[in-house]
Structure 1
Amino acid sequence: MNHDDTTAAARRRPMRTLALAASTVALLVPQALVASPATAASSDAARGPRGVSAVTYDLGDQAYRLPGTGEPVEIAGTVHYPTDLGTTPLPLVVLLHGWHETCADRAAAEARTAAELAQDWEAYEAASRKLFSWPCAPGTRPIANDRGYDYLGEELARRGFVVVSIRANGINASSVWGDENASARADLINRHLALWQRLAASGRGGLVGAFRDAATGQPRRVDFRDRVDLNRVGTMGHSRGGAGVTWQAADRHKDQWPTGVKVKAVLALAPAYNVMTEDMTAYEITKTPVAVLRGTCDGQVGTEAFSFAAEATARSTAGFHQLAIPGANHNYFNTEWSPRSGEVAARDDAAHDADRPGQCTEPGGSAYAPQLTEAEQRRGVAAYAEGFFRQYIGDGRRF
C-alpha cells in the first residue's frame, strides 16, 4: 500500500488543503486571536476571552497496566479551564503527546550522544534505556511531556473550553509499537474520559480530591460537576499521539468510548502513523470531522501524514481539512521538546543548509522556507486549533 500519494478514493471527494506562507502565519495569528464583532454575537463566546486557571492530577505512575504486556502506565494530566466555569457545561478537549524521552537523565543523554558519535551501539542502547524507562529511576525527574501544550490549553480555555493534556510516558517507555501503540494511546484517552464523565455527571470518582494547583502543587478544589459537556469532546494528538486520536475516533472503536462520551472533532498534529498497517479500517473515520497539520520542515514525520489521514477519511461525510505550514518543524509544537526549554533531549529537528541561513526544510528536502520561531509556530497552531474546535464542538462558527 502506497501512503505517499492520496488514494483514488480520497481524490474523489473534496478536500481542503491549505498552505500558509511563514510570514502569513506570523502576521495573521494575532488578528485571529482577537475577538471580532461576530464573536460577541455568538452564544458560547459572548463573554469574550476569559480568565484561565490550571490544575494537575496524578493517580500514580503505575495506575494501570497495558493489556497484553502488563507494563505500567500513569494516569496523570494538566487541566486548563476558564476560572469562571459559568452555569452552562463547556466542551472538553483532550490533548495527547507523542513518542519522546520519559526521564530527564542528562548524564544518560550525554552518554548516548557520545556513543552515537563513536558508533558504540551497545552503549547507545544502554543510555537510551535510561532515557526511556518508566517509572524513572529514583532521583530522576520525569519529563513532563503533557506540559508541552500549556500554551494551547491556555488559549483554548480562554475561549471557553476545558482542556486536559494527558501524560503517556509509560506508553513511550513500553514495548508496544505500530498499531498496538496507537491502540494503547486510545485506551489511555478513554480511561481519562471515563474519569471526567463520572466527575462531570456526579461529582464522584477517581478525580475527586486529586487536583493540585499547576504552579504551586498545593491541593485545589474545583467543582466540575455539571460544568463539562462530555457529549462535545474534541481530541488533539501530536506525533504518535496523532495516530492515537485517529484510532480512538475510528468507526470500529467507537464502542470503546465510555458511556456518555461523544468525540466530535479530531485534530492530528504532525501525526506519526503506522504506514505499514495492513488494515486501514482500524483507522477509518466516516462521521467525525478530522484536521491534519504538518510543517514543511518536519524532521520526523513525512507527507504520509496527509495521505494516510486522507485514506482513513476517504468515505467520510464529515469535514476533512489539512494544513501545510511552511517553516514549521516537528518539535516546536511541544515546548518540552524545544531547545529554549533547556529540557533533556530537546532539539530543533528541521534540516538546514549553511548557505541558506534562517531557512529550513525536511530531511532530504529541497524546498526551503524561512523557519518559524518557537513562538510563531505555536501561535499558528493555537489559532488553527481554536477555530477548528470552535466550529465543531464550540459555537459552530466557521473557521
Structure 2
Amino acid sequence: MSRSPTDAADGCRPGPDFIGTAEYNFEDEFDLTPAGSTTPAYPGVDVRAVVRYPAKAAGAGQPVAGGRHPLVVLLHGNHVTCPCSCSHTCAPASRIPNHLGYNYLLDVLASWGFIAVSIDGFDVTCAGSIAMSDYEARGRLVLRHLAKWKDWHTAGGAPWGKLFKGRVDLSHIGLSGHSRGGEGVVAAEFINRAEGLGFQIEAVNAIAPTDQDPNVRFVPQVPYFLLLAASDGDVSNLQGLRTYDRTSLGGAPVQSEKAMLWVYGANHNFFNTVWTPSFGVACASDDGFGDGRVSEQLQRLVACQSVVPFFRMQLQDASDFGPLFRGEVVAQGLGGVRMYWARQDAVRKEIDNFDTGDDRTTNSLGGAVTASGGLVTFDEFELKASGPDLFNPSFRGFTHGLVLGWSSPQTYESALPAAQRNVSGYSALALRIGQILETANPVDTPRSLRVKLKTGAGVVSSVGFDLSGVESVPYPYESNGGKTVLTTVRIPLADFRKGNAALPLLDIQSVILEFHGTGLVAIDDIQFTK
C-alpha cells in the first residue's frame, strides 16, 4: 500500500537516441465532408505538423536511426488561432502555434525511439460546424496524418523524399490529445475501427479531455490512459472522466487495460507551453483555481512522467512502468504532488461492477451481498453530475455504484458463488473508492477500512488502511462546488497471506469491507485482478 518516489522508473529521463527535427505543411490539402453530402463542412483543411524522431545525429533533417520506430501522434485542443481571436484570416506568421506546446513530450519520446508528431489543427480549431462535429473533424484530421505517414513509410514523398521510407513501425501507433484534441483522438480510434481503415492504433491517451460530441465514442479495445487535472478551470466539470467510466457501446466489457490519473492542483492550460503565460505567447492564461496549486513545471513533469511511460509500456513493452500505473510507486520528482490512480485490467474477475441494476443484495457474479444493520447509508446510485437517481452532484463520472455511510463499526460482505471461488490466477484484489463531500463525512475525521478475505472454511485474513487523510483514498476536491472522484485501491493477495501464509486462494468465499469511525464513501468495481 505504501508508495515511494525512489522506487519508480524515471519515465521523463531522456533516452539514448539523438533527436532529429522536421516539419511538414500541406495547405488546403483536403475537404472534410459529412457522409452523404457533397458540401464540405470544413473546406480546405491544412495538413501540418512538427516532428521529432530518433536520428543518427541531432538536428533538422538528419537521417533516421536504423530500424522501424513506433509512431505517436498528438493533437491540441481549442484555443485562439490568431492573436486573441478565433479568426482564420491572420498571416501564417501571426498564427498561434498551438501544436508546438507539446515539444517537451515529443523530445523525450523521440529520444526513446519514437517518431513523435504534433498536429496543427488550425482549420478545425474555433471552427465548429453544424454538419460535422469538430470532434469528428479532429478525428478525421488525425487519420489523414496517419495516411500520410503510411505513404512516407511505404514509398517516401514530399517534403523529404525517402527520409522516413521503411522507418515507421505502423504496427505500433499511439494517439494523444489534449482538451478537444483528447476527444478527437478517441474519435480517431473509434472511426478507424468502425470504418475498417486498418491503422494499427494500439494505445490512446487523453489529457484533460472534453466529452461533448453527441455521437458518443469509446475506446474499449485498446489501452486507454486518461490524465485529469482537479483544478481545471476550462473543462471545470471534469466531463472527460466519463470517457474512463464508459467502456463500450451496448455495455460490452472493456477489453484492454485502462488507467486514470487525477492530479490535485493542476490546471487545464499548463500541459501546453504555448497556453502558459510564462512562455510569452499571446492570450495564454492560468485557468486554475483553488488551493494546493502545483507549478507549471511540476504539471508538465506529471505529463512527461505518465504520458511517455504509457506509450513506452504499450508500444515498446517497457514493463518496468507497470507499478507506476498500478499506483504502487510515485514517479521521480513528484513526491510532493497529490495524485490518485484508477485502473482496470483486461484480465479480471468482477465480483461487483454495480452495473446490473439496483439490487444491492446480489453482486455481478450472482453471489449474496449482506451488510450490518447499522449502516447509515447502504444503497446504489448513479455516480454522475446530473440525471436521475443521483446521490449528489459532486460526482464527475459516468457509472453506477454503491454508497455506504457509517457512524459506528460496520461491515459489508460480498460472496463468491462456489464455482467462482478459485482466485489463485490473480495477483490482487482491487476496488474503486472515493470519499464523498457531505457533512456526514467531515474532512480529517478519523475513519478507516479493513478489507478481508474469508475462505470456505471460515478463515479470515485482512489488510487495513486509513481513510482520514488522502494518501490512499482522496477526499473530494472542495473548490468549484466539490469533485468526488473514485480511485483504485489495489491490495496484493500476498499482503493477505502475510498474516496467514496458508490462506487458500482456491476457496475464497467472500470479500468483507469493515468500516470504523465515521464516514461516507462511494464504491465501484470490486474485482480480483492481475
State whether structure 2 residue 252 is matched by structure 1 residue 318.
Answer: no
Q: Give the 3-state SS of the residue equivalent to 1:245 in structure 2.
A: helix
Partner of 1:347: 285
State whether structure 2 residue 22 is matched by structure 1 residue 55.
Answer: yes
TM-score, scaled to structure 2: 0.53
Partner of 2:149: 196
Q: Give the 3-state SS of the residue equivalent to 1:343 in structure 2.
A: coil
Cα deviations across residues 78-119 of structure 1 (Å, max 9, x unaligned)? 000112333321100000000001012xxxx4xxxxxxxxxx
Larger strand proportion of the pair: 2
Aligned partner of 2:75: which letter? L
| Pick aligned residue for 2:32 from 37, 45, 66 | 66
Tell me if structure 2 keeps the 8 A contact 1:71–1:174.
no
Q: Give the 3-state SS of the residue equivalent to 1:304 in structure 2.
A: coil
Shift in Å, 1:307? 2.3
Unpaired runs of at least 5, structure 1 = 1-19, 36-47, 110-130, 212-220, 352-360, 362-367
Partner of 2:232: 298
Q: Give the 3-state SS of the residue equivalent to 1:55 in structure 2.
A: strand
Shift in Å, 1:202? 1.7
Rg larger for? 2
Cα separation, partners in 2 of 1:233 and 1:331, compared to 1, 3 Å: same
Partner of 2:397: none
Once residues 146 and 196 of structure 2 are traced to their aligned partners in structure 1, the CA distance between those partners, rounded to angstroms, is 8
Partner of 2:501: none
Cα separation, partners in 2 of 1:56 and 1:253, compared to 1, 3 Å: closer
Tell me if structure 1 keeps the 8 A contact 2:152–2:162.
no
Shift in Å, 1:253? 4.1
Cα separation, partners in 2 of 1:50 and 1:139, compared to 1, 3 Å: closer
Partner of 1:77: 49
TM-score, scaled to structure 1: 0.70
State whether structure 2 residue 121 is matched by structure 1 residue 174.
Answer: no
Tell me if structure 1 keeps the 8 A contact 2:211–2:242.
no
Tell me if structure 2 keeps the 8 A contact 1:103–1:140.
no
Partner of 2:460: none
Cα separation, partners in 2 of 1:169 and 1:28, compared to 1, 3 Å: farther
Partner of 1:263: 201
| Pick aligned residue for 2:86 from 132, 153, 159 | 132
Tell me if structure 2 keeps the 8 A contact 1:178–1:274.
no
Matched residue count: 303
Partner of 1:228: 168
Shift in Å, 1:138? 4.1
Q: How does 1:13-32 map to 2 (within 5 A)?
A: 31-32=10-11
More RCO (CA 8 Å, sep 6+): 1
Partner of 1:155: 108
State whether structure 2 residue 340 is matched by structure 1 residue 386.
Answer: no
Tell me if structure 1 keeps the 8 A contact 2:11–2:308.
no
Once residues 203 and 139 of structure 1 are traced to their aligned partners in structure 2, the CA distance between those partners, rounded to angstroms, is 27
State whether structure 2 residue 193 is matched by structure 1 residue 254.
Answer: yes
| Pick aligned residue for 1:372 from 294, 298, 308 | 294
Shift in Å, 1:258? 4.5
Tell me if structure 2 keeps the 8 A contact 1:234–1:266.
yes
Once residues 268 and 144 of structure 1 are traced to their aligned partners in structure 2, the CA distance between those partners, rounded to angstroms, is 20
Shift in Å, 1:273? 1.3
Once residues 139 and 389 of structure 1 are traced to their aligned partners in structure 2, the CA distance between those partners, rounded to angstroms, is 32
Shift in Å, 1:177? 6.5
Once residues 306 and 398 of structure 1 are traced to their aligned partners in structure 2, the CA distance between those partners, rounded to angstroms, is 26
Larger helix proportion of the pair: 1
Partner of 1:38: none
| Pick aligned residue for 1:187 from 140, 149, 163 | 140
Tell me if structure 2 keeps the 8 A contact 1:237–1:245.
yes
Cα separation, partners in 2 of 1:192 and 1:236, compared to 1, 3 Å: same
Once residues 281 and 95 of structure 2 are traced to their aligned partners in structure 1, the CA distance between those partners, rounded to angstroms, is 11
Cα deviations across residues 146-187 of structure 1 (Å, max 9, x unaligned)? 111111100111111110100101101323269711110111
Cα separation, partners in 2 of 1:343 and 1:222, compared to 1, 3 Å: farther
| Pick aligned residue for 2:243 from 301, 308, 312 | 308
Cα separation, partners in 2 of 1:255 and 1:376, compared to 1, 3 Å: same
Once residues 56 and 346 of structure 1 are traced to their aligned partners in structure 2, the CA distance between those partners, rounded to angstroms, is 24
Tell me if structure 1 keeps the 8 A contact 2:20–2:54.
yes
Aligned partner of 1:248: which letter? A
Once residues 303 and 279 of structure 2 are traced to their aligned partners in structure 1, the CA distance between those partners, rounded to angstroms, is 19
User: Is 51-60 or 148-157 further displaced after alignment?
Assistant: 51-60
Shift in Å, 1:32? 4.0
Cα separation, partners in 2 of 1:203 and 1:317, compared to 1, 3 Å: same
Partner of 2:66: 87
| Pick aligned residue for 1:98 from 58, 63, 77 | 77
Once residues 349 and 340 of structure 1 are traced to their aligned partners in structure 2, the CA distance between those partners, rounded to angstroms, is 14
Tell me if structure 2 keeps the 8 A contact 1:194–1:258.
no
Cα deviations across residues 353-399 of structure 1 (Å, max 9, x unaligned)? xxxxxxxx3xxxxxx32x22222111110111111101111134252
Cα deviations across residues 225-245 of structure 1 (Å, max 9, x unaligned)? 111111100000000001001
Cα separation, partners in 2 of 1:292 and 1:177, compared to 1, 3 Å: farther
State whether structure 2 residue 178 is matched by structure 1 residue 238.
Answer: yes
Q: Percent identity?
A: 29
Once residues 140 and 324 of structure 1 are traced to their aligned partners in structure 2, the CA distance between those partners, rounded to angstroms, is 37
User: Is 155-164 or 298-307 further displaced after alignment?
Assistant: 298-307
Unpaired runs of at least 5, structure 2 = 34-39, 57-63, 322-530
Cα separation, partners in 2 of 1:229 and 1:288, compared to 1, 3 Å: same
Tell me if structure 1 keeps the 8 A contact 2:46–2:122.
yes
Shift in Å, 1:289? 0.6
Runs of 4+ in 1 over 6 A off after TM superposition: 27-30
Cα separation, partners in 2 of 1:239 and 1:257, compared to 1, 3 Å: farther
Shift in Å, 1:63? 2.1
Tell me if structure 1 keeps the 8 A contact 2:101–2:274.
yes
Cα separation, partners in 2 of 1:30 and 1:318, compared to 1, 3 Å: closer
Q: Give the 3-state SS of the residue equivalent to 1:74 in structure 2.
A: strand
Once residues 94 and 9 of structure 2 are traced to their aligned partners in structure 1, the CA distance between those partners, rounded to angstroms, is 36
Shift in Å, 1:203? 1.7
